[in-house]
């Protein structure tokens, strides 16, 4: 395919790609800014859209900036580094607005401007590196844009500007240590690094194996774990053994150190184990949770249900301002962390239930449970209909929805409408600067 064309970029899609049109067909072009006129080479043509590669910027936007990262042109992690940060924030507000209108039929939903960061760099406390052996040398890196090829990172030649500086430091050492593995030992496919604001860090080595071996057999990485645990700040080294083919599941083994790291968030301490989800941007997490608490509008005597409660961060954050709280989470390991976190903070008015949220919450509501506020913090797929129905059947005055995907947020807001709730306010929060992702907190009030 060797066709070249000139197009005008009129918008940005949810992957951070510029959007233009050629002869009525939508064209997606990475690395462009709305308002620019560009020359592109078409790299893929489908029935309803095409993709193009930027050849020349014929009329650059005033919002265009030089990316600070040497990897930005090729790495798939940052889609918007070429755009001035204030413009990124305006773009994210507009993306949420468009999604509410298109997916939720909510063109007039009350939407605030996106809250950004004062310093939108080195904010990530959790980074996953891919691992490869290139010309006999072990390298860490990230997937290239629209590809499974790997862009080298993790050392002085490719510092990730989104990752915390300490994680970059540890990645460089782990890369060297992996190079010292016996050649008969397969390399892990991924290395995940996590850091708490306490300075404690966790290293997770992920290896694929056949399904029969997932639940038995010694680890292949005990020798390297003994070296990794000696890196200053690292207190946990774990292995994630998962079925080949990158299916979900598998098991985690602690190879060195303890089973968790400790994080501190706005005066609370949280224990985070290897399998548990935890927000990756601590600065913006405080912004997100403070807005969640504000929307709950608590006087101190309320009963709160927190669906998809994870390790209990939102539940325990709210617990200081309410009478009784229940958290619901499908991952038993996360529930164990949540209970430990309640004890760690001396919080006694929060209980946590392990099981499918769409089963446990409706059962308790049917048995007479009546929360004043229901907090929803689902994964990207959004809420199951049973959870939304249970929230409505509970009679809760407010539903506060914490979302990592504007499309499923819009869908679920629309589904809550016929159940008796109307949207009162939506606040986007920029949890992932220089990417196209945006989180939101939405307040739903009973009509």
Residue from 69, 75, 404, 440 carrying the catalytic annotation: 404
Stated as kind and residue range, the H or E segment containing 103 is helix 85-104
Known active-site residue 404: yes
C-beta separation of 117 from 285 below 8 A: no
In terms of C-beta density within 10 A (0-12 exposed, 13-18 middle, 19 or more buried), how is residue 261 classed? Answer: buried
Q: Of the given ranges (101-115, 207-221, 338-352), which has the lowest mean pLDDT?
A: 207-221
C-beta separation of 151 from 70 below 8 A: no
From the list 254, 250, 252, the residue with the least C-alpha distance to 242 is: 250
Stated as kind and residue range, the H or E segment containing 408 is helix 406-416
d(CA 214, CA 210): 7
Q: What torsion, rounded to 10 degrees, do the Cα atoms 90, 95, 101, 107 define?
A: 0
- pLDDT value of residue 366: 98
In terms of C-beta density within 10 A (0-12 exposed, 13-18 middle, 19 or more buried), how is residue 130 classed? Answer: buried
Residue 100 confidence class, pLDDT cut points 50, 70, 90? very high
From the list 271, 249, 277, 269, the residue with the least C-alpha distance to 259 is: 271
Helix (H, G, I), strand (E, B) or coil at 161: coil
Q: What is the pLDDT of residues 359-416, one digit of tens each?
A: 999 999 999 999 999 999 999 999 999 999 999 999 999 999 999 999 999 999 999 9
C-beta separation of 18 from 33 below 8 A: yes
- Give the range with max mean pLDDT: 35-49, 149-163, 233-247, 393-407: 393-407
Residue with tokens 């070249």: 4
Using only C-alpha atoms, the chain has a radius of gyration, in whole angstroms, of: 23
**pTM, 2 dp:** 0.93
d(CA 183, CA 29): 41
d(CA 4, CA 122): 38
E strands present in 210-301: 234-243, 251-257, 260-265, 268-273
Check pLDDT > 70 for residue 325.
Answer: yes
d(CA 308, CA 356): 9
Q: Give me the domains of the chain, ranges plus CATH numbers.
A: 4-64 (2.40.50.140), 126-264 (2.40.50.1070), 281-446 (3.40.50.150)
Check pLDDT > 80 for residue 206.
Answer: yes
Backbone region of residue 434 per phi and psi (left: phi > 0; alpha: psi in -120 to 50; beta: other values): left
Q: What is the pLDDT of residues 418-438, one digit of tens each?
A: 999 999 999 999 999 999 999
d(CA 59, CA 381): 39
């Amino acid at each position: 395919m060797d066709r070249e064309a000139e197009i005008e970029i009129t918008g940005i899609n949810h992957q951070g790609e510029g959007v233009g049109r050629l002869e009525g067909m939508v064209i997606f072009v990475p690395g462009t800014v709305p308002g620019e006129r560009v020359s592109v080479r078409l790299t893929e043509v489908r029935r309803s859209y095409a993709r193009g590669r930027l050849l020349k910027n014929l009329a650059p936007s005033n919002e265009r900036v030089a990316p600070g990262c040497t990897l930005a042109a090729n790495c798939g992690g940052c889609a918007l580094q070429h755009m001035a940060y204030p413009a990124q924030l305006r773009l994210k507000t507009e993306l949420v607005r468009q999604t509410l209108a298109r997916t939720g039929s909510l063109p007039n939903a009350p939407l605030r401007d996106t809250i950004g960061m004062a310093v939108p760099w080195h904010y990530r406390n959790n980074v996953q590196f891919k691992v490869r052996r290139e010309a006999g040398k072990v390298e860490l890196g990230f997937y290239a844009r629209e590809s499974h090829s790997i862009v080298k990172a993790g050392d002085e030649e490719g510092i990730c500007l989104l990752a915390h500086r300490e994680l970059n430091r540890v990645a460089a050492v782990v890369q060297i240590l992996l190079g010292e593995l016996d050649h008969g030992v397969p390399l892990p496919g991924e290395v995940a690094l996590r850091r708490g604001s306490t300075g404690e860090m966790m290293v997770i080595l992920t290896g694929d194996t056949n399904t029969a071996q997932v639940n038995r057999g010694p680890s292949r990485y005990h020798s390297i774990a003994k070296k990794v645990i000696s890196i200053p700040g690292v207190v946990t080294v774990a292995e994630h053994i998962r079925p080949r083919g990158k299916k979900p599941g598998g098991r985690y083994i602690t190879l060195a150190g303890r089973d968790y790291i400790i994080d501190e968030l706005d005066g609370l301490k949280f224990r985070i184990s290897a399998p548990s989800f935890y927000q990756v941007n601590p600065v913006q997490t405080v912004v997100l949770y403070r807005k969640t608490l504000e929307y709950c509008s608590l006087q101190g005597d309320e009963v709160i249900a927190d669906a998809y409660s994870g390790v209990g961060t939102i539940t325990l954050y709210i617990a200081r301002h309410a009478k009784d709280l229940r958290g619901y989470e499908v991952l038993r390991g996360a529930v164990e962390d949540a209970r430990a976190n309640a004890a760690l903070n001396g919080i006694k008015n929060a209980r946590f239930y392990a099981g499918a949220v769409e089963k446990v919450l409706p059962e308790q509501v049917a048995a007479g449970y009546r929360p004043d506020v229901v907090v929803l913090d689902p994964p990207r797929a959004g809420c199951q209909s049973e959870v939304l129905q249970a929230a409505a059947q509970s009679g809760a005055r407010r539903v506060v929805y914490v979302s990592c995907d504007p499309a499923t947020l819009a869908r679920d807001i629309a589904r809550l409408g016929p159940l008796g709730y109307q949207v009162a306010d939506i606040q986007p929060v920029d949890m992932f600067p220089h990417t196209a992702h945006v989180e939101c907190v939405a307040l739903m009030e009973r009509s």
